[in-house]
Amino acid sequence: MPDTPLPAHVAFRHTGAESLHVNGQGVPFDVLSFWQWSASDLVSNVTRGTLAEFIIATALGIDINVIRRDWDAYDLTTPEGLKVEVKSAAYVQSWHQTKLSNIMWRTPRTRAWDAESNRQDDESRRQADVYVLALLHHQDKSTIDPLNLAQWYFFVLPSLSLDRRTRSQHSITLPSLITLAGPPVSYAELSAAVDRAGQAQRETV
């Protein structure tokens, strides 16, 4: 086989009805079955993080018919062109706990990677204009429901606020975040808060 470049794979949006098959011969399992098997535990760390991105995307008016890309340098782009990074945390976890989890978000600078060119930037920096740090704040394991938007808080701040921190550049705790970003906003308030943070970022850059 000749050594030629292989362009990035272009994914398409599945409906869930697509069947597993052997060269076109269907077997009795479909993509919906896969989703139910792999992503039904919405409290788990990985799935909760993806759900947080989806929730925030819907609040910001982002077209969810355009499928999520895992390897972008930031998580979301608003219709106005703001680049948004999403991080999530929760007190309640899927596993057995002897106490509620301590709340902390990782916020390091990164070297962006471009899936189209398979190249990584030389410089580490924050790739997004705005950070949304989501907290699934409900603390009762018997009634935790990540689909209940009232159980989420959202802290919104421009990237410059993290860049200017004199403490850790790699992570931030809840008390430090409240000092830096102020009180959390609700799902209904999220879009306006992101707009304000984006404006603050653009006025400074």
pLDDT digits (tens, 9 = 90+) for 66-95: 999 887 889 999 999 999 999 999 999 999
The C-alpha atoms of residue 49 and residue 171 are separated, in whole angstroms, by: 16
Whether 5 maps to a domain, the answer reads no
The C-alpha atoms of residue 8 and residue 171 are separated, in whole angstroms, by: 32
The C-alpha atoms of residue 2 and residue 81 are separated, in whole angstroms, by: 40
- Could you tell me which of 50, 39, 38, 40 has the C-alpha nearest to residue 134? 50
The residue range of the domain holding 191 is 42-204
Q: How many domains does the chain have?
A: 1
Whether 36 maps to a domain, the answer reads no
Whether 74 maps to a domain, the answer reads yes
> Which two structure tokens, joined as six digits, stand for 152?
């989420």
Whether 34 maps to a domain, the answer reads no
Whether 21 maps to a domain, the answer reads no
Query: Is pLDDT above 70 for 140?
Result: yes
What whole-number percentage of the chain has pLDDT above 70? 95
Q: What is the model's pTM?
A: 0.91
The C-alpha atoms of residue 115 and residue 8 are separated, in whole angstroms, by: 6
Query: Is pLDDT above 80 for 190?
Result: yes
Angle at 31 between CA 12 and CA 90, to 5 degrees: 90
Whether 169 maps to a domain, the answer reads yes
> Which two structure tokens, joined as six digits, stand for 182?
């102020």
* Structure confidence at residue 62 (pLDDT): 97
Whether 137 maps to a domain, the answer reads yes
